[in-house]
């Protein structure tokens, strides 16, 4: 199989990780990379709990100091070492991320779901230390700088997944998309 590069964009708790887990479980040679991996690694050196707010701050600081495409450059280096399979770039959030994805021949999938559904999923998963919030706090978190361009970038996506339904409905949408890439 030739290398397929897929970027994933979506609001908080829209199902990005669920899509990645499905691909890893059902396809051969799947490589999963997150734009936030480097940020998480840095924060884990200093703290036991990683907070979204801290990831957003360190991302902004790195981009300000080294350029808007600093995290993209790190991922592209990793991608260049992969010869075949499916490469998933989870967490496309900024125009520089999108441009880099397109420049290496990648396709973008936008995953979206209603805010109430996403909030409920986030509370259940408890992935980050700040996931247990009220719905109002969740809506405010969605206004953060790192979240602000997601719908704009999503509008440019090659494919869109509506994740308001069941896991099976999500999986059917994924199969259809992978079959057409």
CB 35 within 8 A of CB 141: no
pLDDT value of residue 54 = 93
Task: Tell me the C-alpha distance between 70 and 149, whole Å.
Answer: 18
Report the topology of domain 4-180: Rossmann fold (3.40.50)
DSSP one-letter code for 14: S
CB contact burial 144-164 (16+ within 10 A = b; e otherwise)? eebeebbeebbeebbbbbebe
SS3 category, 73 = helix
CA distances from 117 to 8, 12, 96, 136 (A): 19, 11, 29, 14
| CB distance 53 to 78 below 8 Å | no
Average pLDDT score over residue span 77-94: 90
pLDDT digits (tens, 9 = 90+) for 96-113: 889 989 999 999 999 999
Mean pLDDT, rounded, for 120-139: 83
Contact 3, 85 (CB under 8 A): yes
Please tell me the pTM assigned to this model: 0.83
For 110, other C-beta atoms within 10 Å of its C-beta total 23
Give residue 16's pLDDT band: very low, low, confident or very high (50, 70, 90).
very high
Delimit the domains of the chain by residue range. Answer: 4-180
């Amino acid at each position: 199989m030739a290398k397929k590069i897929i970027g994933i964009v979506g609001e908080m708790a829209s199902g990005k990780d669920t899509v990645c887990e499905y691909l890893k479980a059902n396809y051969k040679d799947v490589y999963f990379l997150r734009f936030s991996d480097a940020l998480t690694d840095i924060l884990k050196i200093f703290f036991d709990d990683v907070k979204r707010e801290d990831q957003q701050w360190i991302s902004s600081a790195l981009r300000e100091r080294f350029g808007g495409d600093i995290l993209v450059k790190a991922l592209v280096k990793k991608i260049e070492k992969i010869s075949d399979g499916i490469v998933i770039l989870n967490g496309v959030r900024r125009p520089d991320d999108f441009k880099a994805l397109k420049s290496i021949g990648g396709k973008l999938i936008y995953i979206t779901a209603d805010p109430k559904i996403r909030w409920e999923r986030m509370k259940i998963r408890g992935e980050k230390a700040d996931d247990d919030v009220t719905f109002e706090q969740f809506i405010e978190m969605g206004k953060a700088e790192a979240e602000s361009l997601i719908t704009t970038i999503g509008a440019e996506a090659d494919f869109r997944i509506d994740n308001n339904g069941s896991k099976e409905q999500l999986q059917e949408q994924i199969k259809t998309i992978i079959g057409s890439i």
